[in-house]
Amino acid sequence: MAELRAEAERREAACPLSGFPARFHLPAPPAIYLDGNSLGPLPRQTAARLQAVVERDWGEGLIGSWKDAGWLAAPTRIGDRIAPLVGAPPGTVIACDSVSVNLFRLLVAGLRRAGPGRPVVLMEADDFPTDRHIAEAACRMAGAALKAVPRGELLAALGPEVAVLLLSHVHYRTGAAWSLAEAGAAARAAGALTLLDLSHSAGVLEVGLEAHGIDLATGCGYKFLCGGSGAPAFAFVAPRHLEALDQPLAGWMGHAAPFAFEAGYRPDPGIRRLLAGTPPILAMAALEAGVATVAEAPIEAIAARARSLTGLLVDALDALDEPGLLIVTPRDPQARGAQISLAHPRAREIHDRLLARGITGDLRTAPGAPHLVRLGVSPLTLTHMQMVEAAAAVGEALAQLRRVAA
């Protein structure tokens, strides 16, 4: 471990983003927060920002703040700050609702766009449950069929009947990342639209929505974007689809002129047509502070730091030389997100022992799948040394478990 600690020091000193963890409220060492992929930690600038929105904009500005404090523009202003993080052009991303709601509206819009000749949504059977539930509900409503297949068969299952390929960029349990170049091209060749769930990649990996010709996407505001628990999500529509996009939750805030109070619905010509109701301004303020903190770093540098941190964590776990410990996350740094998931027959006890000493990962169980200890590696909030320390703690937990058994 001494060599790994020296390597951690070298990498931290050489990384242009090593100042970022100081911008977040984090538990005091030796605690290590490895759950930023579930709930991103609190940026230091968020509390003051929220206080200003509450006391100045709401308290003093009252209704005038819709214009004077930029409340009306918040969904697109925040969307435009998220856009460079996911490789999207300005005017194509909006902050709104939750990932679940956005998946529903984009799936139905995609099915409508594809028309009756393509009555199928295709997805990975083992995707995050909300993606599956929403896809089933959207298909039920739109009169389409859901085809859910094993991961390895997904791209080969694209056929002329598929309207939308629904894909989670990074798998929530294993951390495996799809090649968007490959998946996007396969969907395009089959004439299907690609709808991405970026919950585990927005703000942490290069996504390249425009570069890969992705049609539709949504992603989470409270994970790597550090927008606070229940933060609004975001949604993306490629410019070529915007004008004709018919989304099912057509509310007044998506109207071309919401304050003209027209009886008939005319959608906004741009990305605002995705809105349904009034944006949650207090939650938006926290999201904006989170996005502002993250977006100060170029996404390429964030992704490079994530690969460096997860790579060191893998090396340190390998150095434990524990035959029962299986790293299920891909070893190729280009093929994974910012997490390392571990399978072990005693995963639950490892997780509990880590937690008892202040190392917060999480346990992911699913029917028919091995229990996994999921170590989230939010690159702006963690250091290389913490990767070595976390791996050492896993080793100590295993040694303790053996002693208890003996």
Catalytically active residues are: 128, 197, 222-223, 374
148 lies in the binding site for ligand PLP (CB under 6 A): no
Q: Smaller CB distance to ligand PLP: residue 8 or 275?
A: 275
CA dihedral 252, 257, 262, 268 (to 10 degrees): -60
Whole-angstrom distance, CA of residue 163 vs CA of residue 166: 10
And the tokens for 194?
A: 């690609």
Q: CA nearest 59: which of 69, 46, 72?
A: 69
CB of 22 to ligand PLP, least distance (A): 27
**Residue-level length of the chain:** 406
276 lies in the binding site for ligand PLP (CB under 6 A): no
Q: Smaller CB distance to ligand PLP: residue 65 or 199?
A: 199
**Strand-by-strand arrangement of the 362-364 sheet:** 326-327, 339-343, 372-376, 362-364
Q: Is the Cβ–Cβ distance between 381 and 20 less than 8 Å?
A: yes
Helix runs in 83-128, H state only: 99-114
Q: Smaller CB distance to ligand PLP: residue 200 or 307?
A: 200
Q: Is the Cβ–Cβ distance between 45 and 293 less than 8 Å?
A: yes
CB of 216 to ligand PLP, least distance (A): 14
Binding part of the chain for ligand PLP, among 9-17, 125-133, 264-272, 373-381 by CB under 6 A, reads 125-133
Helix (H) / strand (E) element for 337: namely none
Residues β-bridged to residue 267: 255
CB of 221 to ligand PLP, least distance (A): 8
CB of 131 to ligand PLP, least distance (A): 6
168 lies in the binding site for ligand PLP (CB under 6 A): yes
Q: Smaller CB distance to ligand PLP: residue 126 or 131?
A: 131
99 lies in the binding site for ligand PLP (CB under 6 A): yes
CB of 189 to ligand PLP, least distance (A): 25
The only residue of 12, 80, 131, 288 in contact with ligand PLP, by rule CB under 6 A? 131
Q: Is 236 helix (H, G, I), strand (E, B) or coil?
A: strand
User: How many alpha carbons fall within 13 Å on the CB side of residue 115?
Assistant: 4
Binding mask 182-211 for ligand PLP (x = CB under 6 A): ---------------x-xx-----------
236 lies in the binding site for ligand PLP (CB under 6 A): no
Residues β-bridged to residue 375: 340
Whole-angstrom distance, CA of residue 8 vs CA of residue 311: 11
151 lies in the binding site for ligand PLP (CB under 6 A): no
Owner of token pair 């304050």:
259
Whole-angstrom distance, CA of residue 304 vs CA of residue 363: 26
The only residue of 106, 163, 196, 233 in contact with ligand PLP, by rule CB under 6 A? 233
| Count of residues of this chain found to bind ligand PLP when the rule CB under 6 A is applied | 13
Q: Is the Cβ–Cβ distance between 158 and 187 less than 8 Å?
A: yes
Whole-angstrom distance, CA of residue 380 vs CA of residue 374: 18
124 lies in the binding site for ligand PLP (CB under 6 A): no
Whole-angstrom distance, CA of residue 223 vs CA of residue 300: 18
Q: Smaller CB distance to ligand PLP: residue 57 or 215?
A: 215
CB of 275 to ligand PLP, least distance (A): 16
Q: Smaller CB distance to ligand PLP: residue 337 or 395?
A: 337
Q: Smaller CB distance to ligand PLP: residue 18 or 130?
A: 130
Interface residue list for ligand PLP (CB under 6 A): 98-100, 128, 130-131, 168, 172, 197, 199-200, 220, 233
